[in-house]
Structure 1
């Protein structure tokens, strides 16, 4: 089996995929996530935007002082998305580098796995939208 060109991700309220869905211009994946660099944890608010077919259009990534600050920022960004509704999405692999960190959904062909960075959510067969951590 190979990695699909578009990977489904299930919307799970109250879990790590509770801020994903659709808006007037396509789909979105939003999160507050942390990276560990030289033993220092850095928090980021992240909003990835995709067209209706799941192709990456843009990413907004901003370092925040705390996870709470990130949630506030993310709330503002999500409120500004026209026609926003939380729902399942299906997106293609992509990658963005910001402040030396990898953000994106990276296909790992040798493992038949796709990993969302830096969130560390993994997707694999049967490609039903559920993730492993």
Structure 2
């Protein structure tokens, strides 16, 4: 199956797509997300092993991907500090985009 050139993403406030929009250079999708390293077992502390990332995907005006920034902030076991660090980095990236809508 051939991958589509553009995948529409619907804006949904207070959900995963609440940080999408347009800027002078095109479009963007930003989020704080978690992932697990290969081999993590789903034991009692599985959630604490979650790795937290700040992610900013950039697209041109037509929606074609032009680049991504991904930054590792720490693990969930660090408590709220990892998410706070990711939020700070993501806020900086978004402010560097200039005026966004």
Q: TM-score, normalised by structure 1?
A: 0.58
Whichever of the two has the greater Rg, that structure is 2
- CA contact 2:58–2:68 (8 Å) conserved in 1: yes
- Once superposed, which parts of structure 1, at least 4 consecutive aligned residues long, lie more than 3 Å away? 2-5
For structure 1, list consecutive stretches of 5 or more residues without a partner in the other structure: 86-133
- CA contact 2:52–2:73 (8 Å) conserved in 1: yes
SS of residue paired to 1:78: helix
Aligned to 2:13: 13
Aligned to 1:51: 60
Q: Specify which structure has the higher proportion of helix.
A: 2
In 2: Cα distance, 1:80 partner to 1:5 partner: 26
RMSD over aligned Cα atoms: 1.7
Matched, 1:31 2:31: yes
Matched, 1:22 2:22: yes
In 2: Cα distance, 1:33 partner to 1:41 partner: 9
1:19-98 equivalence runs, <5 A: 19-37=19-37, 38-39=39-40, 40-65=49-74, 66-85=82-101
Q: TM-score, normalised by structure 2?
A: 0.74
CA shift, 1:73, in A, is: 1.1
